[in-house]
Amino acid sequence: MVTHVIYGGDYNPEQWTPEVWEEDARLMQEAGVNRVSLGIFAWVKMEPAPGQYDFTWLDQVIDLLHAHGVQVNLATPTASPPPWLIRLHPEILPVTADGVTLWHGSRRHYCPHSRAYREYASRLVTALAEHYQNHPAISLWHIDNEYSCHENGCFCDASVEAFRQWLQKRHGTLENLNKAWGTAFWSQTYTDWQEIQAPKRTPAFINPSQKLDWERFCSDSWIDCFEDQKVILRRTTPNIPITTNFMNFHRSLDYWKLAAAENIVSLDCYPDTSLPDWRVESGMGWDMMRSLGGGRPWLLMEQAPTHVNWRQRNTTKRPGIMRLGSYQALAHGSDGIMFFQWRASVAGAEKFHSAMLPHVGTDSRVWREITSLGGELQKLDEVLSSRVQAETAILFDWENWWALEGQAKVSNDIRLLPQVKAIYTELFQRNISVDFAHPESDLSRYRLVIAPHVYLVSERSAKNIDQYVAQGGTLLMTFFSGIVDDNDHVRAGHMPVPFSNLLGLWIEEFVAYAEAQTNVVEAANGQGYPCELWSDIIRLTGAEVLGHYREDYFAGSPAITRHRYGKGTSYYLGTELARDGLAWLLDQACAEAGVRPVLEAPPGVEVTSRSNGTHTWLFVLNHSDVEAWVKLPAPATDLISGSRVESLMQLGARQVAILRLS
Amino acid sequence: MVTHVIYGGDYNPEQWTPEVWEEDARLMQEAGVNRVSLGIFAWVKMEPAPGQYDFTWLDQVIDLLHAHGVQVNLATPTASPPPWLIRLHPEILPVTADGVTLWHGSRRHYCPHSRAYREYASRLVTALAEHYQNHPAISLWHIDNEYSCHENGCFCDASVEAFRQWLQKRHGTLENLNKAWGTAFWSQTYTDWQEIQAPKRTPAFINPSQKLDWERFCSDSWIDCFEDQKVILRRTTPNIPITTNFMNFHRSLDYWKLAAAENIVSLDCYPDTSLPDWRVESGMGWDMMRSLGGGRPWLLMEQAPTHVNWRQRNTTKRPGIMRLGSYQALAHGSDGIMFFQWRASVAGAEKFHSAMLPHVGTDSRVWREITSLGGELQKLDEVLSSRVQAETAILFDWENWWALEGQAKVSNDIRLLPQVKAIYTELFQRNISVDFAHPESDLSRYRLVIAPHVYLVSERSAKNIDQYVAQGGTLLMTFFSGIVDDNDHVRAGHMPVPFSNLLGLWIEEFVAYAEAQTNVVEAANGQGYPCELWSDIIRLTGAEVLGHYREDYFAGSPAITRHRYGKGTSYYLGTELARDGLAWLLDQACAEAGVRPVLEAPPGVEVTSRSNGTHTWLFVLNHSDVEAWVKLPAPATDLISGSRVESLMQLGARQVAILRLS
Amino acid sequence: MVTHVIYGGDYNPEQWTPEVWEEDARLMQEAGVNRVSLGIFAWVKMEPAPGQYDFTWLDQVIDLLHAHGVQVNLATPTASPPPWLIRLHPEILPVTADGVTLWHGSRRHYCPHSRAYREYASRLVTALAEHYQNHPAISLWHIDNEYSCHENGCFCDASVEAFRQWLQKRHGTLENLNKAWGTAFWSQTYTDWQEIQAPKRTPAFINPSQKLDWERFCSDSWIDCFEDQKVILRRTTPNIPITTNFMNFHRSLDYWKLAAAENIVSLDCYPDTSLPDWRVESGMGWDMMRSLGGGRPWLLMEQAPTHVNWRQRNTTKRPGIMRLGSYQALAHGSDGIMFFQWRASVAGAEKFHSAMLPHVGTDSRVWREITSLGGELQKLDEVLSSRVQAETAILFDWENWWALEGQAKVSNDIRLLPQVKAIYTELFQRNISVDFAHPESDLSRYRLVIAPHVYLVSERSAKNIDQYVAQGGTLLMTFFSGIVDDNDHVRAGHMPVPFSNLLGLWIEEFVAYAEAQTNVVEAANGQGYPCELWSDIIRLTGAEVLGHYREDYFAGSPAITRHRYGKGTSYYLGTELARDGLAWLLDQACAEAGVRPVLEAPPGVEVTSRSNGTHTWLFVLNHSDVEAWVKLPAPATDLISGSRVESLMQLGARQVAILRLS
């Protein structure tokens, strides 16, 4: 049970001498650090030779930290197998679709299907867990690190064999597989499981159903690796929660599945704060993490104190920005703030990544901001475990993402994240709280559900969405939805077949725009809104028209529709609206659904709320460069300043208030 | 003997149930379809296990189609070997210059030099041909599919060995090969045939003569594969004509050679109709197909009903565009219109390619346009077998293409197709019919021959072109012509050595322009025409100057010349003229040669003619978006409307008339 | 002892018949050629089968040339092993980091670590040297050709093994290596030498210290190859000097090390003369060559008579440009002018590279310019062996270059050459002579030392630079200097740690700019100078401020500083100044240091001087397109015209004068 807002970072004592450890412990205390992640890349230090485990150094570090009030996220160091293991089992190295081996010398150089890797990892995790099962400093297991971060699937022979076994489990018979993959096309019918290959390099477009199954398989393989370790840890230390660190909207791993297997969701988040919309990107990530955990508080496991090292140009977080971003994480449901990393390395590929304790030492802006934030957070313990409530959900499904962004579509510029982000941006700017939801999940708690490009829909998703509207929900769906089943087979007929009734329309034709082509939607309010990328040629079967095209051979035909269905209402958007048009449409849908902002606030001021049944806290963040005046619903107490705030609050540029409402 | 304009498309019944076959046959009749291409990717369906042939399903389909009046292009399904064959003989898979294997899972995953592939293919073709040798529905053999579409040569060991054998045939002795390849350069002299390699990846520029022979060899290998099958089909079904589908100006296969081996030339043509000059691109392709067949009618084997699926953005053919493009094919000599494909697939990599019968069904614009065109074509049977006559030829030679666009030239931005297209565009817009001709072919029938960038010329080509002018022809040659022999060795001396007499000039120096550099040609008409890319520094030995440079150190020296030679005239263009200048020069050359348009027509109105000795038909296509008035040479009958047209004809935007002249 | 200005080019008689050799010898005489480079790519001609050496053809050529007054740079032809050797020992072929083999068919297709290659090369060099040890025509050994030109390291097994051995020599123990590479990071600790790999392809950033050692190793390997041959040649022909041709600022080979092993530095130089600053690029290369040779005269081994063939567009050297460039080489210390190549090849990958004798023959501008220059050079023998003196040095170190441009920095757009060039350009335009100097070399002779981005500094460099200033030197250092030690480990603390005292400041924070970000430096002269890319946040400990930032959160903080240290002065530049600002700063530093131009001259007029103790010659080059008037320090004699020049000299556009001062 966490009782303080978590504060700290990754700590790699294996890079330092015991003298430095002492200084670190002292400085951590000074900075208000109460948690570090330990051992993430320490395999070779923990097991310097096959089966020879050495935890003495780690005992010393953990005891020292514990004595200074610092708890530990203990990592299983399995993300970087030691050179000696690669030499013993070179087959551990991953192989690309072109047959190129990826070598050791960096990290994550292992094939998840390697038996040798899995066995060595399991033995080490067992030893580690048994060694520390009773240590009071261990608060959380941090399994591996950033699963699937660099890899895009391993194509070695063991992986191909694992893929075949996975396919046998999924499809049962070759006949089913042939049907699921549509192998009558291009003479691809399989007559023996051994004929099946990974989607290695091919002369032309690969079978898209094969590719989709491969992406499912690759994702499942990382989850298998996680499960291997989880079983050991659960057995050995049943009371220590388990996490593995996520990476925002990371494409190659189905976080819904993996999150379901962990106790707490944690995130590594590195926005480029030189971009004006970094706070929107961050917010989207925070909300996804909260949603993955079913609304439970989550943990910001890594962020940068100032710059990273892996972009072309790694810009500095300006004064106050790190603080603002940290509070934003809390505002969206995190119960802690952690960094990569505690002390800046002097060697290795990340030596120019910023750290809480920079190369230059404590007489530095970075250190001053770190210690200041550490102090402030100690005033916020009361918000721990409280939750954010959202009335709006955006549907998001990794399988749909994989299928949608496969090859050889009508337009290959339909991309999921930009569409999700455009919608999220409008809601964010209105201070409307948003969850992300899997299309098969219970949607009944939401007033408004937005379905951007849900191209692939299972039978269950389709029914779920239909039922949601029929029972009174408000739905906004965007084009190229409902097109294929979960094998990526077209649902032929009056598209979108599963939603045609629900929407009161069908689509006679898809019109993909050339790069330079645009159009204008004339909306019900008389405005003309520019659009691009795509038009559905819509045939109405009950829906009313909220906007129609002004140009091209389909001028006058519907672009935006609304349909009453059962007890609910569905909106459909058949094109890519530029910002103003999308804003108008979202306003219609929100009004219809009765969705309201957390608080009306001036531009640039973000407001969220967390509650725990007893109290409600408003998080007010002034992202703008000017001071803002915010009208509160009730008098409140600002936890940071400790002062009482009446109905009107002044908030300086880049300042934050966390208000317990009376 | 074809008696009706061919109409139909690719049909893949293996993707559908027998119930769907019945519906297909009925709908084909409704649409006026009289021909389908069958079996193109059905290898595994025809031969589900090694040597076990199954044609029962195909019998059923063909009989059903035949009963509905649909004839068949029967394909040999050898473009996509089944997975079981790859497992038995993995050496079939092609290998890139980097040594990367290209796997099954898409199509065309075979090395043309694989003995196993060739044997399995031959056995299957034999079985297929014998099975259908007496079936009255089979009208045409369709061998394989789009030879060399994705591959850029196979570099496996068998291919290297085949290359050595091909070289032995071509060069006889190592001494000859060393001379032909200029191996004294960079210490490349071969002392044993086994030392010779394919042009795999190398540290620096590969030997250009080796590369040229490799491109010849790769092209010949596909023709070998074709010949394997042709021998079998010719023996078994001597009366059924043979084709294989071409892909416009496809670089890696010498269509002159392959066309000479088939009975009818057929084309897959997929213009991007969102580009304003799609009709020029198409026209150029149609004229090349007609030329490849020696002027005989050819067949449009595949086009898209509306969009394709393999571009980044696959735009819709606007209303009327598919019809206009179809008539344009007929206007340039096709005897039929076929599509990819009949019924839209629901699975596989081409499921989003448009089809005659779309996913959405028959209540659709696409279906309405398909059935309407099918009806109209039935009125055009009289034009079958008639021919287009051209007085102008553009020289085009694949070997020149390969050599010209090799590496390490003076300017590596001299590209063949853009130059050909610039010239073709001007002629197209004047309604001047154009053939393409091989430089070694009989040119005597042409008033005007244009030789764009004929960099590589054999002795025979050189003499042929010289003789053409000497005997009264008009020639227009552009820069960087006559530079190398057929081993890509420079013809040193007063360049262009083989044409210096003919042109009355020689070139002291090549001037390649930097990207930003331009110049102006001051022409004999007093105009200044912008030019770019290149200047020859010309020394005159008899030619007169039609234009000279205005700038740079060679200001005042000749850019365009004319020379009387024998009974003829040669024009030379020593730079890259922008559009207006090129138009002026072509006008001079056409006037000199007495070349005239088929008909003078308003801008955007294309006119071609076909005749059969008895009748002449004018094809009038209004590509513009406004109605046009066309003055006819004589009263005529419009085959589509059936109405009589006097000397002045009105033609709506995007409308077509096919006029039998009285 | 060279007694005439060397003039000639590469000559490849193996591509021609003996009849052509006769013509060549005659034409060389006509052109004033007195030197050719022979045999560079003639391995297979010298050794047509294993161990069978044939020099008869070469004897004939050399005797013929000698009879015509042409001396020979005799090449060891080891840059292109014959096909028969590759067939015998395919392991000679190099392999990329991806495992792709690079084949024969071009050149430089050998791994420097191949035992077979090294043995065959040594045997051939021995035979060649013994055969020609007494031939009077041999003036210089030309070892191999353009070492490391195309390769970026070989990753074959033999190379990996050689790397391990090199590492053992460098680091002694694994413990040292682990420390040097910082392998505690990402679990990379090595427990056996056999675990170590080359930096092949990895999933993420490779260990930067490993990469740096690899670059050192690859460079050393080429030097080993050179040394193999040098030992043989030194033993056999102790009196013939030795060179190998360099390629300007070529990244992958440490020319300081290699130059130290040769008798004369020689250069292949191919500026793109279509760029306005080609003369600056060339000048920078010339000065580096002179510096590599410790100030001794060097040799321009290759340049193009007009265009090259390996750029996308290979522009012509305009009339007079080749001559101007040639004199510029002499002006910067060369004792000769040579070209690639004598006679244009008609086959092979370089047939479109220009030659002294072009394809078109002797009636050509190129030939006229070649023969004219050959005539002029005969008047310049007196300047042979004279030297250029520079008071300014720019520090340049290959190890720093490799480390600086590795991955994962704060800004990955800090590049060494652009910075060096920006500085060099200003000095060039002021006619201030510049040396390049290794940071560990004796700097005491220079008034001004400029240290651009000396990111990596050894202890010895650091002390050397400190001492230089302490003892009275003037230093100008630019940002991101002094950051790491020679293992690429950060020197943590008050950066730049080794120079903090010297500079009187330390850096609290690095600010990498985003692409669109800029700032302005307000300088001590009241001007605002734009800057970009980077800002150090400087904390002063003694330095005075010469400029500060106008914008951003660090507005007002120092951007440019000056500090008196010991008897000297140090300037520091903490940002990337645009041209005007850099010019101002350099003017300050030059004034401080007392550095003066060779001669004040109008814009576009370059002046250098060479002296030999007895005489001083001014080289005056008018690069501009207008005539210029130059005021001389004293009356002089122009060697080319032979005329006397008083204090004021007129020089036409693109004209040159070489003046012996009275």
Contacts of B351 in chain A (CB under 8 A): 182, 208, 489-490
Give all strands (DSSP E) within A500-604, no chain letters. Answer: 505-512, 518-523, 528-540, 544-549, 558-565, 568-573, 575-577
d(C-alpha B7, C-alpha B71), whole Å: 10
- 8 Å CB contact between A178 and B342: no
Interface of C with B in 354-413 (CB under 8 A): 358-361, 363-366
Neighbours of chain B (3+ CB pairs under 8 A): A, C
How far apart are alpha carbons A593 and A392 in whole angstroms?
9
Cα Rg, chain B, nearest whole Å: 26
B371 and B450 co-located in one domain = no
CB-based contact (8 Å) between C294 and chain B? no
Contact list in C for residue B182 (CB cut-off 8 A) is 15, 345-348, 351
Q: Which long-range contacts (CB under 8 A, 24 or more apart) does A22-29 make?
A: A22/A64, A24/A342, A24/A343, A24/A357, A25/A64, A25/A65, A25/A67, A25/A68, A25/A70, A26/A68, A27/A357, A27/A362, A28/A65, A28/A68, A28/A70, A28/A342, A29/A68, A29/A69, A29/A70
Q: Is B220 a domain residue?
A: no
C216 lies in some domain: no
B558 phi, psi to nearest 5 deg: -65, 140
Any domain includes B598: no
**How far apart (Å, rounded) are the C-alpha atoms in residues B214 and B197?**
10
Nearest to A508 among B86, B106, B364 (CB): B364
Sign of the Cα pseudo-torsion (B122, B128, B133, B137, in order): negative
Query: Is the pLDDT score of C384 beyond 80?
Result: yes
N-terminal to C-terminal alpha carbon distance within chain A: 26
Distance in angstroms (rounded) separating the CA atoms of residues B213 and B456? 13
How far apart are the CA of A201 and the nearest CA of chain B, in angstroms?
A: 5
> Among B100, A160, A201, which residue's Cα sits nearest to residue C99?
B100
Contacts of residue C98 in chain A, CB cutoff 8 Å? 98, 100
Tell me what pLDDT residue B111 has.
98
State which amino acid sits at residue C524. A
What are the chain C neighbours of A45 within 8 Å (beta carbons)? 184, 187, 189
**What is the per-residue pLDDT for A152?**
75
| Total domains, chain B | 4
Are residue C235 and residue C369 in the same domain, yes or no? yes
* DSSP structure class, residue B577: E
**CATH code at B636?**
2.60.40.1180
Domain match, C128 and C172 both: no
The answer to whether B189 contacts C100, with C-beta atoms less than 8 Å apart, is: no
Tell me the HSE value of B423 on the side-chain side, using a 13 A CA sphere: 28
pLDDT band of residue C25 (cuts 50, 70, 90) is very high
DSSP code per residue over C18-37: HHHHHHHHHHHHHHT--EEE
Residue at which a domain ends, from A383, A410, A426: A383
Query: Which chain C residue's Cα is nearest to B206?
Result: C106
Q: What is the CATH number of the domain that holds A550?
A: 3.40.50.880
B480: nearest Cα among B416, B570, B532:
B416
Number of B to C CB contacts under 8 A, please give it: 200
Position A2 confidence tier, pLDDT thresholds 50, 70, 90: confident
Instruction: Tell me which DSSP letter residue B194 carries.
Output: G
Is residue A39 within 8 Å of residue A138, measured between CB atoms? no
pLDDT-derived band at C152 (thresholds 50, 70, 90) equals confident
A partners (3+ CB pairs within 8 A) are: B, C
Binning pLDDT at 50, 70 and 90, where does residue A662 land? confident
How far the first Cα of chain B sits from its last, in Å, is 27
Helix (H) or strand (E) holding B311, with range, is none
What is the pLDDT, as a whole number, of residue B82?
98
The residues near C177 (Cβ < 8 Å, ≥ 6 apart) are: C167, C171, C183, C190, C196
Dmax over CA atoms of chain A, in Å, equals 76
| pLDDT score of B662 | 86
Cα-Cα end-to-end distance for chain C = 27
From the CA atom positions of chain A, what is the Rg in Å? 26
Kindly list the residues from chain C whose CB atom is less than 8 angstroms away from the CB atom of residue B189.
44-45, 48, 82-83
Please report, as a single letter, which amino acid is at residue B166: W
With respect to residue C222, please indicate whether it lies within any of the assigned structural domains: no
Give the rounded distance of the alpha carbon of A446 from its chain centre. Answer: 21
* Contact status, residue C146 vs residue C247, Cβ threshold 8 Å: yes
Letter string b/e over residues C471-498, b meaning 16 or more CB atoms within 10 A of that residue's CB? eebbbbbbbbbbbbbbbbbbbbebbbbb
B506/C360 Cβ within 8 A:
yes
* Residue partners of C423: CB distance under 8 A and separation at least 6: C394, C450, C452, C582, C586
Neighboring chain B residues of C44 at a CB cutoff of 8 Å: 183, 187-189, 191
Q: CA of B3: how far to CAs of A282, B6, B223, B379, C283, in Å?
A: 68, 9, 30, 12, 77
DSSP assignment letter at A64: H
Show which residues of B are catalytic. 146, 302
Chain C contacts in chain B segment 183-242 (CB below 8 A): 183-192, 194-197, 199-210
pLDDT in tens, A594-639: 999 999 999 999 999 999 999 999 999 999 999 999 999 999 999 9
C598 domain-assigned:
no
Q: Given pLDDT bands bounded at 50, 70 and 90, which one contains residue B1?
A: low
What are A518-528's pLDDT values in tens digits? 999 999 999 99
Name the 3-class secondary structure at B583.
Answer: helix
Query: In 3D, which of C430, B6, C455 has the Cα closest to residue A352?
Result: C455
Residue with tokens 């060739």: B118
Contact B27, B358 (CB under 8 A): no
Please state whether B472 falls in left (phi above 0), alpha (psi between -120 and 50) or beta.
left
**Closest residue by Cα to residue A473 from A439, A523, A511, A507:** A439
Locate the chain A residue with the closest alpha carbon to C210. A105
Encode B66-87 in three state secondary structure.
HHCCCEEEEEECCCCCCHHHHH
Contact indicator for A478, A404 with CB cutoff of 8 Å = no
Q: Reply yes or no on whether the pLDDT at B383 is more than 70.
A: yes
For residue C2, name the pLDDT band (cuts at 50, 70, 90): confident
Same domain membership, residue C167 and residue C122: no
In which domain, by residue range, is C315 found? 6-155+231-383
Contacts of A495 in chain B (CB under 8 A): 359-360
Whether A576 and A500 map to the same domain: the answer is yes
Beta bridge partners of B260: none
Give CA–CA dist B525/B520, Å, rounded: 14
Say what the pLDDT of residue C1 is.
60
Answer yes or no: are the C-beta atoms of B30 and B23 closer than 8 Å: no
Of B80, B318, B349, nearest to A187 by CB-CB distance is B80
Of C98, C345, C365, the CB nearest to B185: C345
Of A192, A410, A507, the CB nearest to B84: A192
Residues 6+ apart with CB under 8 A from C162: C113, C217, C221
- Residues C129 and C181 grouped into a single domain: no
Could you tell me what percent of chain C has a pLDDT over 90?
A: 98
Scanning A458-608, the segments in alpha helix (DSSP H) are 459-470, 500-503, 579-593
Residue A217 lies in a domain: no
- Is residue A479 included in any domain, yes or no? yes
Instruction: Say whether B413 and C313 touch across the interface (CB within 8 A).
Output: yes
- The reply to whether A182 and A117 lie within a common domain is no
Q: Find out whether C454 and C461 touch, Cβ atoms under 8 Å.
A: yes
Q: Which residues of C touch B493 (CB under 8 A)?
A: 359-361
- Domain-terminating residue out of A210, A243, A275: A210
Domain match, A356 and A397 both: no
Whole-number average pLDDT of chain A = 97
The pLDDT assigned to C151 comes to 74
CA C476 to chain centre: 22
Interface touch B508/C365, C-beta < 8 Å:
yes
Please report the number of interchain residue pairs, chain A to chain B, with beta-carbon separation below 8 angstroms.
Answer: 200
Same domain, B161 and B151: no
Active-site annotation holds for A195: no
- Pick B349's closest partner by Cβ from A206, A489, A514: A206
Helices (H), C471-572: 500-503
Residues 28-57 of A with CB under 8 A from C: 41-45, 48-49
Task: Please tell me whether residues B334 and B359 are part of one structural domain.
Answer: yes
Put simply, the chain C residues between 89 and 128 with a CB less than 8 A from any chain B CB are 94, 98, 100-109
The answer, for C525 touching chain A at a CB cutoff of 8 Å, is no
Which among C352, C277, C351, C312 is positioned nearest to B533, based on CA atoms? C312
Kindly report the CATH number assigned to the domain that includes residue A137. Answer: 3.20.20.80
> How many whole angstroms separate alpha carbon B125 and alpha carbon C286?
68
Residues 492-521 of chain C with CB under 8 A from chain A are 492-495, 506-515, 517
Interface test with A, best of B85, B86, B313 (most A CBs within 10 A): B313
B615 within domain boundaries: yes
> Which residues in chain A are contacts of C515 at CB distance < 8 A?
313
CB contact under 8 A, C410 and A307: yes
Q: Do the interacting molecules here have an ipTM over 0.90? A: yes
Q: What is the pLDDT of residues A154-186, one digit of tens each?
A: 999 999 999 999 999 999 999 999 999 999 999
Using the predicted structure, report yes or no on whether residue C465 has a pLDDT greater than 90: yes
- Report the pLDDT value the prediction gives residue B607, as an integer from 0 to 100: 98
DSSP label at residue B95: B
Mean pLDDT of all residues in chain B? 97
Identity of residue B377: L
A215: which residues sit within 8 A by CB, 6+ positions away?
A153, A252, A399, A402
pLDDT digits (tens, 9 = 90+) for A255-312: 999 999 999 999 999 999 999 999 999 999 999 999 999 999 999 999 999 999 999 9
The answer to whether residues B80 and B109 touch, using CB atoms and an 8 Å cutoff, is: yes
Parallel, antiparallel, or unpaired: how do β-strands C558-565 and C448-451 relate?
unpaired
Mutate to test the interface with B, among A163, A202, A404, A551 (most CBs of B within 10 A): A202
- In the stretch 545-584 of chain A, residues with CB closer than 8 A to chain B read 553
Q: Where are the alpha helices (H) located in C133-277, listed in sequence order?
A: 157-171, 174-181, 208-236, 255-260
Q: pTM for the full model?
A: 0.97
Contacts of B372 (CB under 8 A, 6+ apart): B323
Active-site entry in A151, A262, A302, A440: A302
Residues C300 and C412 placed together within one structural domain of the fold: no
Query: Do A79 and A162 fall into the same domain?
Result: no
